[in-house]
Amino acid sequence: MKVRRALTAVVIASGLVLGVAGCGGDGGDGKENTSSESSPAKDKGDGKQKEEPEAPADEQVLAEIQAADDVTVVINSAVRDEGDFLTVTGKVTNNGNGRWVARNWVGDETELRGNSSSLAGATLVDKVGKKRYFILRDTEGRCLCTRFPAGVKGGETATWYAQFPAPPESTSKVTFQIADVPATEIEISEGE
């Protein structure tokens, strides 16, 4: 009976963690959310989701792209992880004065329309393998990517991530594309 109760508690706790992570609101206080939504969580082997530590100031830059509306997109990593997926991370900086909202980054797919102000429309192109990879999503159509529910204020920077199916191991470079941001080639690195 104790084992059954413990298992039930673990299942309920896992469900709550996933539910809270999937909600993605800004808490209703009008303040920008800069916590877990802007960086992917890692499973440390104990079944609990933990936040990734802050990246060092001198982190690697794979690409820096000037987008419309005074926005700069930086890509810091493209890591092939166990589980056959590729996680791309970076930063978006609003160099303008007003609030920037990623309205047109959602993409054209009907299933992704519920992912407003997110990177849901991002794709990767493997030119050698002649294949396009669309962003991963859960069973309810939510992208496995960062959402910017409150936008990014002028002069501020927000971190982001997006997960895709991993191209074959023989593919070492892919082209990252999203909305009005110029396409750019990035190098894939292998996870731990």
The closest alpha carbon to 115, from 94, 139, 87, 145, belongs to 145
- CATH 2.60.40, domain 58-190, yes or no: yes
What is the DSSP code (8-state) at residue 32? P
- Amino acid 136: pLDDT: 92
In the chain, what percentage of residues exceed pLDDT 90? 42
pLDDT reading at 6 higher than 70:
no
pTM over 0.75: no
- What are the extents of the domains in the chain? 58-190
Nearest to 102 by CA among 112, 89, 115: 115
> CA 72, CA 55: separation in Å to the nearest integer?
18
> Above 60 in pLDDT, residue 17?
no
Q: pLDDT tens digits for 93-105?
A: 999 999 998 887 8
Q: How far apart are CA 60 and CA 77, in angstroms?
A: 7
Bridge partners of 79, per DSSP, are 87, 189
88-106 burial string, b = 16+ CB within 10 Å, else e? bbbbbbbeeeeebbbeebb
